Amino acid sequence: MVFTACSTVPGTGRSQLTLIPSSQMLSMSYSQYSEVIKKAKLSKDKEKTAMVRNVGVRIARAVEDLLKEEGVEMKFDWEFNLIEDDKQANAWCMPGGKIAVYTGILKYTKDENGLAVVMGHEVAHAVANHGNERMTAGIGLTAITLALAIGSSDMAPGTRNAFLAAFGAGTSVGIMLPFSRSHETEADKLGLQLMARAGYDPNAAIPFWQRMAKSGGKKPPEFLSTHPSNETRIRNIEKFLPEALMYYFPPQHRNR
C-alpha cells in the first residue's frame, strides 16, 4: 500500500507519500468550498473579480501545460471567487482547483503580477497534493501516539501523561511545523514557475513579500510557525528566481 501511494510532485520532483484516495479528497474539497461560498459575501466589484478570474485562468492553463509535459494525470474543476472581506489578507486553493481570494490581500498584491504571486503559490499547494500529504502524516502520527499510549499503560498516570504530552509537543515543533514550512517553501518555488509559465513576471514575488513583511502585527518565532518568516521566504525566492525565469515569456512573446 505504501509503495503504490508514493508519487512525485510535478515541477519539483520531490517524492511524497499520500494515502487518502484522490476521490475522497476531491469530495471533501468540493463540499467544503461550496459551504464557504454559500456563507461568504462575494465581491460585486466587476473589475477586481475579472482580474482574479483572468489570473486564475492563465495559471490554470500553466498547470495543464506542466502536467501534460510530465505525463501526470490530476483532476481539476477550476473555480475562482473573490470574497469581500478587507480584514483578511488571504487566499487559498483546495484540491481540485477551488480557489478563493479575499479582498484584503489586494492592497498588497497591487496588480495582476502581484496577484499571480499569491494565486500561483496557492494553486501550487493543490498541484503538489500538500493537503493529502498532511492528512497522511497526521494519520501516521495518530497511529504512533495510540501505540505509545497503549505501550505506556503500565506507567504511573502522572508520568504517562507527561510522557505523552512531551511526545505531542515534540512532534509538533520537531516534525509537523517544519513539515508545513517545507510545503510553503515548495509552493513558493512551484508557484513562481506557474506564474512564469502563465506570462507573469516572477520578479514581482520579492516586492510583494516585502510589502507583506511591513504589514505589521507581531509574528511568532519561525520554529513555532506553520510558515517561513518573510525574511526566509524572500531569501528562498531569490534562489528560486533564476529557474522560474527560464519559463517566463511576456504575453506579447507568447503564442497564445
Grid coordinates of 72: 501526470
| Residues 143-172: tens digit of each pLDDT | 777 777 777 777 877 777 776 677 566 766
Residue-wise pLDDT tens digits, 44-102: 999 999 999 999 999 999 999 999 999 999 999 999 999 999 999 999 999 999 999 99
pTM recorded for the entire structure: 0.83
In sequence order, what are the beta bridge partners of 6?
Answer: 17
Q: d(Cα 43, Cα 45) in Å, to the nearest integer?
A: 5
The yes-or-no verdict on residue 253 having pLDDT over 60 is: no
**Active site (annotated) includes residue 35:** no
Percent of the chain with pLDDT over 90: 66
Q: Which residue has the cell 475562482?
A: 80
The single residue of 112, 122, 133, 184 carrying the catalytic annotation is 122
**3-class state of residue 113 by DSSP:** helix
Check the CA dihedral 88-201-133-179 and report its sign: negative
Distance CA(129)–CA(10), nearest Å, equals 10
Q: Determine the pLDDT at residue 184.
A: 95
In this structure, which amino acid lies at residue 45?
D
Instruction: List the domain boundaries for the chain.
Output: 22-135+172-253
